[in-house]
Structure 1
Amino acid sequence: MRRFKSILGMKKKRNGLTLFCFVVLVLGLLAACGANVTNGSPNVTNGSAAFKPGTIYSINSSGRQVLVNDTGNAYSIDKKGHVSISYRNGEVTAQSPMKLNMSRDAWDRGISSGGFFISEDKTAIVYNPEPGNLSPLHVLISDDMGETWNDTIIQGAKGDELFIGFTSKTDGWMTSGASHGVGKALNYVFQTADGGKTWKEVGNPNDVYSEHLTGAGFSNKDIGFLGFRYYRDAGPEIYWTKDQGASWKKLEIKLPEEFNDYNKTPLSPIFNGKEGLYPILLTNQENGATVGIIYFYSKDEGLTWDYDGKLDNFKTTNYEIEN
């Protein structure tokens, strides 16, 4: 009996050792594959940390700021013109090197409503240091939640209608625009592949469409979108590229007939990997009152878009943010 119990005990120990070795092997394979488990969900990141999405701002057809994607990060301006950045719903705050001239109007302080991208991994601010003049633009970059900042001057970029964003810690985009006659604006697109240290100009849509921007965004270095203020029709006016700006064409999206009587302003698209959302702001054609936001969604980095009414938001009408 003692011998029998001893044999069973040895078997259990061997089974336990086998199980332990199996667990170690699986953990090793997961580490080699770059898998990361967060909140119970697997997140394959190809060996590098996942890029955290950023808070994105856009503007409506009248030039007022709209919060497009709230990630718990934000900016604020005090009475003296100091620009502060907050992260994680206010847990972390930082002071940016910017100081605005508060004696000027909000639209003429050197910043643009869309000129902010605020992520825990990458914070980017594009601004004009000489409001009212077509001076070279500055881009402020922080990779450590505002502890340190790099200031890069983009000599070829000018204007005061600005948008900026990043799709990874290294790859980003920026647009600059300025009025060009009545009801027109010329817009230029820039990209960075080194985290914002250097920028190069890529193709723009000015030959096919030149109007004031209301939103912009890229899903990767090749596929990008520019949303424009509606002018002669009710919109939405969206032009897109899938060859890094070499060519641009109008994005044809089909809307339900129930939205025909609204003005439709395309805001900045939101991307998280291959998945994307394109918010369209609806306003009343008679009085300009905000009606709500409808969304198109994409599962292939913006190559195709579909409409799903379940994503629409008509409960809240206060989308405008004033600083």
Structure 2
Amino acid sequence: MAAKKKWTLLFAIGACIIVLIIGVSLLLKFYKVDFNKKLPMTVTLESDDAKPEDVAYKFWMELITPYEESNVPPWAGLNDVRFNKFQLLAGDKKDFAIEATFWVKPKNEMWSIFHNWGTKQKDGTIQDIHWTMRIKNVGKNKFRLTKIEETSNTVAGQAPVKEHYQKEAGIKVDDENNGYTIENGKLKVTYDNRKHWHKVPIKIDELFEGEYNGEQDTLIPGSFVITPTKTAFVIVEKERQIETGQPEPEKIKIVYSVDRGDTWKEGSVPMTFPSVRIRMIGFTSKQNGYLIVTSDRTMNFESHVVFKTNDGGKSWKAVGSVPDVNSLVTDGGFTNDKLGFISFGSKNEMDKQPSPYLFRTSDGGRHWDEVEVPIPSEYQGIFTVAQVPVFDGSQGTLLVNQGPSGDFQGGKVLAKFISIDKGMTWNFANLVDPDQVLSK
């Protein structure tokens, strides 16, 4: 009887948990207002010369006004809504992105619970709500709203970390389940949050060979990829050389697995290097990947080469480099097999403030063009080093940091830019405030 009561109790507890989960799911479904579910939305304006800001205001009114009506349930209703501004972020009348800044006063506390919006005030209003609205012209005076990005989670309008932008853009990034450890001179990887470990057949010294003086208990940033479908590590080997008095050349190999570490393969890079500094690897699909290598550094100059693979990492081919640029590389990567970016830190010219030195390729690395990052006049000389942008289709987000010596607002505030033409042109959007120093 005791055993039967025990199983009955466990069954009851399990049933309660299931009911609770279902209840929470239903609350989220019925209480949270998801404006993107109403999209795409199309409007027609009477004016032939409507500005992008006017179009965005029309959409905003179409979306928000229904929640001020008396027949809306209190949990979804708004007593008052006011806009602050509509600002063009990028594009033109054919295809553009607008930031809408506004505030609301909900009829019920439920709105605040289910919407992580802005800053709640004592009078019940929620201030500093930001939307980025993606709009296209689809006919004469006819426009279509295709996406709304709610960006009111921090003072600056965006969460601080780069991974956030990747996830929002639908780009897969490593999560807490995937990781590594270096213990007793051995490298191991895990895919289930440290429950099981797989040994990697690599000599630890080869992970840090070249121009690297850091501790050997943490892998060099950018030199590895760990996901269930593709795991890869860049290693550097010194080639044996007859006594000539010359430094030994270094050869790069890629050790990779496609079955969660059960078996490992090796790919070779068909070049040798005087002294490897940066080694950045990434995969844009199961077969396509990139490797950016810098070497032979002298003061603030070095050489760099971009390699590509189209067979999952087995073979690599040098596709080129940015011509006539020997500055130190600070970041680099590809969004897909064709579109890539390399950042060379700050560009320093006589009688000019330092500015981001960013290059773009649209043909897989064969040809590169410098990208202008238009820093607003009030921030020139402050935001100087571009990071690799991330993309959602043709729309991209670019963060520009202050470089190693930056001290504006503690040095951690970033400038955010957006593009709607696959990174050919960029427009300033706002500041990204990771530690919320702007609100202090």
Q: Distance in 2 between matches of 1:72 and 1:316?
A: 25
- Map 1:59-138 to 2 at 5 A: 68-69=162-163, 71-72=174-175, 75-87=179-191, 89-90=193-194, 93-101=197-205, 105-106=213-214, 112-130=220-238, 133-138=248-253
Equivalent residue for 1:281, pick from 381, 401, 405: 401
Describe the shift of the 1:68–1:140 C-alpha distance in structure 2 as closer, same or farther (beyond 3 A).
farther
Contact 2:396 2:419 in 1 (8 A): yes
Q: Which has the higher contact order (CA 8 A, sep 6+)?
A: 1
Identical amino acids, percent of aligned pairs: 24
Kindly provide the CA deviation profile for residues 152-188 of structure 1, in whole angstroms up to 9, marking residues without a partner as x.
1213153231111111111111111113433101000
Describe the shift of the 1:139–1:269 C-alpha distance in structure 2 as closer, same or farther (beyond 3 A).
farther
* Structure 2 portions without partners, runs of 5+: 1-36, 38-160, 164-172, 240-246
Describe the shift of the 1:245–1:284 C-alpha distance in structure 2 as closer, same or farther (beyond 3 A).
closer
Contact 2:382 2:406 in 1 (8 A): no
Larger fraction in helix: 2
Kindly provide the CA deviation profile for residues 246-300 of structure 1, in whole angstroms up to 9, marking residues without a partner as x.
3222111222334324253223333465554333222574669632333334455
What's the counterpart of residue 162 of structure 1? 279
Describe the shift of the 1:77–1:222 C-alpha distance in structure 2 as closer, same or farther (beyond 3 A).
same
What's the counterpart of residue 333 of structure 2? 217
What's the counterpart of residue 185 of structure 1? 302
Structure showing greater radius of gyration is: 2
Tell me the matched-pair count.
250
Kindly provide the CA deviation profile for residues 128-157 of structure 1, in whole angstroms up to 9, marking residues without a partner as x.
134985311011222222222211121315
Matched, 1:234 2:354: yes
Q: What letter is aligned with 2:278? A: E
Kindly provide the CA deviation profile for residues 109-132 of structure 1, in whole angstroms up to 9, marking residues without a partner as x.
996422122333222222213498
Describe the shift of the 1:239–1:84 C-alpha distance in structure 2 as closer, same or farther (beyond 3 A).
same
SS of the residue aligned with 2:229? Answer: coil
Equivalent residue for 1:245, pick from 365, 377, 388: 365
TM-score norm. by structure 1 comes to 0.64
Q: Distance in 1 between matches of 2:313 and 2:289?
A: 7
* Structure 1 portions without partners, runs of 5+: 1-39, 41-66, 318-323
Contact 1:172 1:195 in 2 (8 A): yes
TM-score norm. by structure 2 comes to 0.49
Larger mean CA deviation between 214-223 and 112-121 belongs to 112-121
CA RMSD of aligned residues (A): 3.5
What's the counterpart of residue 33 of structure 1? none
Describe the shift of the 1:194–1:284 C-alpha distance in structure 2 as closer, same or farther (beyond 3 A).
closer
Describe the shift of the 1:144–1:278 C-alpha distance in structure 2 as closer, same or farther (beyond 3 A).
farther
Q: What letter is aligned with 1:81? A: G
Q: Distance in 1 between matches of 2:420 and 2:227?
A: 22
